[in-house]
Structure 1
């Protein structure tokens, strides 16, 4: 299942803000990440945070698109309960 995320790096703490509607992309999960967007640190921290929040192993949360963008697409297992 595809999970669209809008990431905001350099936050005080990592947290899920909630869902927003995008006319083109549909539902997008807004997440703040404490890591800086340097050398993939924020992407790794986001993946780890999503895995922990969803109760999944890190290997099951795969970044598919958006490595250098705020808007990212992750692949998570079908049937995953989303926040």
Structure 2
């Protein structure tokens, strides 16, 4: 199991290292026990967080209300929870890993 991923009780929890202000939004491998994600949004006024949640909702094909930022509102290190019952292999497939 990946250290940045937890699948339990119909909830997926991801530990992310987010790099805002990138040219395009994409995954960039692992970084310090977290999944690194480059975001094409500036880190101002919550724009990067909004883009992160929208991107994850689109990837996992769930409504935005089912993707919640648990911690890291003003940090690059974030923990996100997605209300969806998937196993690790399905999560990795959704992320394209």
TM-score when scaled to structure 1? 0.82
- The structure number with the bigger radius of gyration is 2
Structure 1 ranges of 4+ moved more than 6 A: none
* Partner of residue 33 from structure 1, selected from 34, 39, 50: 39
CA distance in 1, matches of 2:63, 2:29: 22
Q: CA deviation at 1:40?
A: 0.4
Between Structure 1 and Structure 2, the one with more helix by share is 2
Q: Which runs of 5+ in 1 are unaligned?
A: 23-27
SS in 2 for 1:45: helix
> How many residues matched?
78
* Partner of residue 51 from structure 2, selected from 45, 55, 73: 45
TM-score when scaled to structure 2? 0.72
Q: Is 1:2 paired with 2:8?
A: no
Q: Map of 1:49-68 to 2, 5 A cutoff?
A: 49-68=55-74
CA distance in 1, matches of 2:21, 2:45: 14
SS in 1 for 2:74: coil
Q: Is 1:73 paired with 2:79?
A: yes
CA distance in 1, matches of 2:30, 2:62: 20
> What's the C-alpha RMSD, in Å, of the aligned pairs?
1.5
